[in-house]
Structure 1
Amino acid sequence: MTRRLAPAGLLAAALALSACADLSPTAQRTGTGALGGAAGGALIGAMAGNAGLGAAIGAGVGGAGGFAWDRHQQSNERAFNQGVQAGRASSR
């Protein structure tokens, strides 16, 4: 039974990852955070006796963390671009 499920799982993972190719950076970072959080939550939840609940909580926390990280990165990019523009304006 396990030998039949492994190829199906790999195919599903490949299709899921290929669907993320044209997402915005915000969606990619939020999704990555949610996926990582779900994996970590499932591990912790399995030790505590409820992997599904742990995965759900982890996905929510990870998604929020990924979104916050995206906002931080966007702020850094804006500050960098403003500095570049100011440097170009002052050298003229």
Structure 2
Amino acid sequence: MNHVAKNRLMAAAAAVALIAASASLGACGQSKSDRAISGGAIGAGVGAVGGALTGNALGGAVIGGAAGAATGALTDEDQINLGKPAWR
């Protein structure tokens, strides 16, 4: 496998991991707004790490934050409840 193909494969794997982590961690809190805020923050952090691995930390943070916020906003307390958020 050449260098370009290896980098593309690694970027694709990082993107899949980023999306999975954002979705699974994106819904902390008891209200939709709590879950959207915490999901966005967690997603941005995970996205920045994933993006740094592929050479674009800012892009990863933006995508991860959006995915985490959307996941948090689209879930309800019965689906995912990881407890009281730190800011409450």
What is the TM-score with the length of structure 1 in the denominator? 0.49
Equivalent residue in structure 1 for 2:57, among 51, 54, 65 = 51
Offset at 1:69?
1.8
Q: 1:37 matched to which residue of 2?
A: 43
2:75 aligned counterpart, secondary structure? helix
Q: 1:69 matched to which residue of 2?
A: 75
Q: Distance in 2 between matches of 1:26 and 1:69?
A: 7
Offset at 1:29?
0.8
**What fraction of aligned residue pairs are identical, expressed as a percent?**
38
Q: 1:7 matched to which residue of 2?
A: none
2:32–2:74 contact (8 Å) kept in structure 1? no
How many residues align? The count is: 50
Q: For structure 2, which runs of at least 5 residues remain unmatched after alignment? A: 1-29, 80-88
Q: 1:86 matched to which residue of 2?
A: none
Detail structure 1 runs of 4+ shifted over 6 Å in the superposition.
Answer: none
What is the TM-score with the length of structure 2 in the denominator? 0.51
Indicate yes or no: 2:4 matched with 1:26: no
Query: Deviation per CA, 1:24-72, whole angstroms, max 9, x where unpaired?
Result: 82211100000010000000000000100000000000001001223xx
